[in-house]
Amino acid sequence: MILPKSNRLSTAQVDELNAIVGEFGCRLQPIIGAVRTIYAILGDERDELMINRIEGLDYVERVDRIQSPFKLMDRRSDLASHQVKIGGVTLGEELLMIAGQCTIDPKNPNFFYETAEAVKEAGAQVLRGGVWKPRTNPYTFQGDTKSLDILMEASRRTGLPVDAEVMDEEHLHMALDAGVHMLQIGARNALNYSLLRAIGKAIAERDTVVLLKRSIHMGPINEFIAAAEYIVSFGNPNVLLCPRGTSPGLDGYRNHPDESITPLLKEKSWAPVVVDPSHSVGRAAYVPSCALAAVAYGADGLCIEAHAEPSKGIGDDPKQALTPAVLKTTLEQAKQIWALRRGTPVAALS
């Protein structure tokens, strides 16, 4: 929909608009209002270049886009019937619970083994463990490849599939070679399209699942879903959308919790939504409330940081990780709220 700056365009201006949309296989339809005439673009308006050409004209106020920039991720796509499965859970049919450490301590593997057992005992179906970590401060510990062995050993001991963040192609291939089941893309790389494409290609023929964190800024929903389209366009549709709080933060939290975006994501895309309350709020005492709120909003899963002994952890764990006992209570209550919502007519709650 083209909104000109003036109420009526000249013939020459309309001709110019017609010529531009014509180049892209579209045509114009004027909407003649009492005061103002605007122009609908009929055809596939998704080419950004066409939009940029029109918005570059000095008599155009703005172009309102009607179509979404993604095809496969759209709720109306053929892919919408796809069900993502991991750890014995079919997303949508049961609450997916991912839990584990922000950062594995390569010098003290036993902490992670204990955490893994606690995570399983609390009812989580996927084990999270950070091998490499993005850090604001370049001189802080950034993770260690040795932790990959510890992660896979914990997977063997517990039987749980594992989730690890990859920050570049080198990590990606090491993680896949080791057998990591779920690849996590962090908030800082959420719009790193080279990495998204590399992951899409690498897992095209595998059943690996990707947990795509939302970018750290309060960007538009379409941008978030379009990032998932980068991965899925290579053929593997196992992607989970993960809100994790945006910046600037709510005064007192690490970020501004954004689990409330869940119903909006579900209206636009079929992809399951798995919320990370740990990064949203950034302190263990606040995490359970945020986790329960996410389920109240209709999240299909949770991704929570936990540690056998948080104060002995490294990375964000001393601050954010739940103890095994609190994790267990939280997951149990989350399941109760999930059940409460499921028993409710859709009209009331979505």
Task: Figure out which of the listed residues 87, 161, 310, 324 binds a second copy, where binding follows CB under 8 A.
Answer: 310
The set of long-range contacts for 67-72, using a CB threshold of 8 Å and a minimum separation of 24, is: 68/222, 68/225, 68/268, 69/222, 69/226, 69/229, 70/222, 70/225, 70/226, 70/228, 70/229, 70/269, 71/229, 72/229, 72/232, 72/233, 72/237
Task: Figure out which of the listed residues 22, 88, 92, 134 binds a second copy, where binding follows CB under 8 A.
Answer: 134
- The reply on whether position 76 binds a second copy by CB under 8 A is yes
Which residues 17-46 are close enough to bind a second copy by CB under 8 A? 29, 31-36, 38, 40, 42-44, 46
Task: Figure out which of the listed residues 66, 108, 156, 235 binds a second copy, where binding follows CB under 8 A.
Answer: 66
Distance CA 154, CA 157 (A): 5
Distance CA 273, CA 213 (A): 10
- The reply on whether position 80 binds a second copy by CB under 8 A is no
Task: Figure out which of the listed residues 94, 256, 309, 335 binds a second copy, where binding follows CB under 8 A.
Answer: 256
Of 110 and 194, nearer to a second copy (C-beta) is 194
- The reply on whether position 71 binds a second copy by CB under 8 A is yes
Q: How far is the CB of 170 from a second copy (least distance, A)?
A: 8
Identity of the amino acid at 115: T
Q: Dihedral of CA 344/346/348/350: which sign? A: positive
SS3 279: helix
Q: Phi/psi of residue 269, each to 5°?
A: -135, 155
SS3 69: coil
Which residues are within 8 A (CB) of 174 and not within 5 positions of it... i.e. 6 or more apart?
Answer: 145, 148
Which residues 92-121 are close enough to bind a second copy by CB under 8 A? none
- The reply on whether position 79 binds a second copy by CB under 8 A is no
- The reply on whether position 147 binds a second copy by CB under 8 A is no
Q: Indicate the DSSP class of residue 300.
A: S
Q: How far is the CB of 156 from a second copy (least distance, A)?
A: 28
- The reply on whether position 192 binds a second copy by CB under 8 A is yes
Q: How far is the CB of 119 from a second copy (least distance, A)?
A: 17
Of 14 and 85, nearer to a second copy (C-beta) is 14
Which stretch, 86-94, 121-129, 147-155, 164-172, contacts a second copy (CB under 8 A)? 164-172
Of 11 and 220, nearer to a second copy (C-beta) is 220
